[in-house]
A and B are shown apart, each in its own frame.
Chain A
Amino acid sequence: MFKLLKIDKEKCNACGLCEISCPFGAIAVENELAQANELCTLCGACVNVCPQAALAIERRKASVEELSQFKGVFIWAECEPHGEKHVPRKVAYEILSQGRRLADQLGEPLNAVVLGDEGLAEMDSLCYHGADRVLCFRHSLLGRYTSDGFTNVISAVIAGEKPSIFLYGATPNGRDLAPRVAARMRLGLTADCTELGIDENGQLVQTRPAFGGNIMATIISPYTRPQTATVRPNVFAAAKRDLDRPVNIEEMPVTLNKTNIRTRLIDEIRLASEEGRIEEAKVIVSAGRGCQDPINLDTLRELARKLGGVLAGSRAIVELGWIPHSLQVGQSGTTVGPDLYIAVGISGAVQHVVGMSSSKKIIAINKDPDAPIFKIADLGIVGDAPVILPKLINEIERIKVRR
């Protein structure tokens, strides 16, 4: 018998709703009584559906007073190089729009935390997009992301400001930083959220995909403040720029020295700058092994150019050395969410699909009618990609000329 899930024998009437609601096959009605087994993850799905309230999970209690001392929604506005400067990247504006919504619901201010060196620019833009206040930490040791340097600064912000919510973009750096901070400050952290809300108790309710996107889980952090989460890029839209919003930028003192940072940069290899960043692209033409030959990628590049987009690809062609890893879409690459995703010769493996399924429109070209990519494509074409593509480019030319 599984202990932490309590089953009240008196109340259970063996209706079986728990059995069909359990995503893990961990509870079943046997001998006129619900019985749980070791597959139980304590997710609570059965507790929520039980009409008899016969199921309960023993959870820890938290002091409401203690938690209510924490106020304010904070986001880490990650910056990226832009010419000589470092400016907030797209995902910073996306979480700012979500942060604004949550802050308004709670009646609390929204703060953006920025780390960088003297090159930081466009800080006022964060205010125009929703921040009430920008906390700007400039230091020569913060010009480049390091786990140790950034963890020190963000942890100090949390200790000093006592926020109720702290959000990060679920970028590679965000996912390196957030858990480090969470462990230092003993905080609950939810990864890669695709939905955020506030419940009737003022708690942050976080929803994220799991099992390769096969199920969604809703998660709360009831005992720890701030409630922290990383937010998946390209899921939320940025707010419109509002130049009437007041600008409030505070330059903050930084105490950091070299010995705080235990990693040292030895070398850097930059790739694929000509191709453009796939994470922020509106149109992506994505190549898979079914493109047959790297020569054919030129046709895909041309198609991408004609549509104002960029080229990306599956892990299979990254491993073949056709494109660099920075252009890989998927679980071990980048999550993208363009308006249009054209998958050419891509089978649609789950690890690929989790990285692109939030694209608004998906076109797939594949010669196998049973390829899984067709399950999510708005328009699927069963056919030979290297043959169809040049003709498609001609067709697009023709449409453009006719106008």
Chain B
Amino acid sequence: MKIVVCVKQVPEITDVNVNPETGTLVREGISAILNPFCEYALDHATQLKITQQETEVIAITMGPPQARSALFRCLELGDDRAVLVSDRKFAGADTWATALTLSAAIKASVPDFDLILMGKQAIDGDTAQVGPELAEILNLPQITYGVEINLSPKKKRIRVKRETEHGYEVLETRLPAVVSASKGELIRRVPSFQDVLTARLKDLRVISADDLDLDETELGLKGSFTQVINVFPPPQKQGGIKLEGLEPEVAARKIATYLRKEGFV
């Protein structure tokens, strides 16, 4: 079985600060990480590899040359090989252009895949759109918000337990398919020194726009249907009052008074 995992490198959001004077993002010292939801997708690929011998896991990312480090992380976590899809021409891609480029990259580098896994969303853009768009472009069934993925007893089918607003449902679909993960195993694996060493020996291929069966007008900003015309800092919510060092009784009374004043009791 061949599993493609689409991953993205993202800035560590918790580090992001906005300069109160200029309203711009402070970039210094922000680390780039592998999107956590993509790590969950990797977890599922690794699990499937344990149950299914002879599984090859291939990580693919579209991104700048620096995204190589996210792919190394995938290789350290057990992926067999990795593909970096990188070209200046991809700059400014929206979710549609990203999905289209990824679909072409998958066709070019893993044409015989059985399953595509992705994170349910990237923590920077938070759109959750690339997965379903990719599934549609490749004309494959999709299952989003997966928390458990199993090969079904019937060959060439998978069962996915997915989160719903009311709990969970288990869906079955035929392969190939696209599944997005909203959770993985709870304990993050720390790659061993050995993992790190082996990762450097694995195959990491870089492909560019020339390797894809796409027209230049379909790439990046030119190929995007949406356009960002402005970015600005969100209206700052004014912090209210913070009360410290109160006796518990007094604290409780302060809250109760506030609730009464605001009309909640």
Residues of chain A having any CB pair with chain B under 8 Å = 2-4, 20-25, 38-45, 48, 57-60, 147-148, 151, 171-172, 175-180, 182-184, 186-192, 205, 209-224, 262-273, 277, 279, 283, 306-307, 319, 324-326, 331-332, 334, 339-340, 349-351, 354, 357, 361-363, 365, 369, 374-384, 387-389, 391-392, 394-396, 398-400
Contact = CB atoms under 8 A, between A and B. Distances in A.
A263 B161 CA distance: 12
B243 A331 contact: no
A216 B99 contact: no
Band of interface residues on B? 35 or more
A321 to B, nearest CB: 11
Contacts of B73: none
B25 A4 contact: no
Given A265-B169, A325-B163, A369 B242 contact: yes
A136 B252 CA distance: 51
22 contacts: A2-B88, A2-B91, A20-B22, A45-B232, A58-B222, A59-B221, A176-B144, A182-B129, A186-B225, A212-B16, A219-B228, A264-B173, A266-B172, A267-B170, A268-B167, A269-B169, A272-B167, A324-B167, A363-B255, A377-B240, A391-B251, A400-B265
A283 B264 contact: yes
Contacts of A38: 64, 88, 91
Given A20-B24, A266-B159, A334-B165, A188 B234 contact: no
Given A57-B221, A263-B141, A24 B174 contact: no
B231 A395 contact: no
Contacts of B226: 188-190, 219-221
Given A48-B230, A379-B240, A172 B163 contact: yes
Interface stretch (B1-9, B48-56, B132-140, B204-212): B132-140
A21 B22 CA distance: 7
B124 A378 contact: no
B197 interface: no
B242 A218 contact: no
A270 B167 CA distance: 5
Given A212-B123, A216-B232, A265-B171, A279 B259 contact: no
- Tell me whether chain A's interface is mostly helix, strand or loop, or mixed: mixed
B121 to A, nearest CB: 8
Interface string B171-185: 111100100001100
A320 to B, nearest CB: 10
Among A40, A44, A383, A387: residue with most chain B CB under 10 A: A383
* 6 closest cross-chain pairs (CB), A and B: A188-B225, A395-B256, A183-B136, A391-B252, A378-B240, A42-B92
Contacts of A218: 228-232
B241 interface: yes
B167 A43 contact: no
A389 B255 CA distance: 10
Interface in B233-265: 233-234, 237, 239-246, 248-249, 251-256, 258-260, 262, 264-265
A147 B228 contact: no
A4 B249 CA distance: 62
A217 B166 contact: no
Given A383-B246, A391-B249, 13 more contacts: A25-B25, A38-B88, A45-B232, A148-B141, A176-B145, A191-B126, A211-B13, A214-B13, A216-B234, A265-B170, A268-B167, A351-B13, A378-B241
Contacts of A58: 221-222
B95 interface: yes
B46 interface: no
Nearest to A268: B169
B127 interface: yes
Nearest to B220: A4
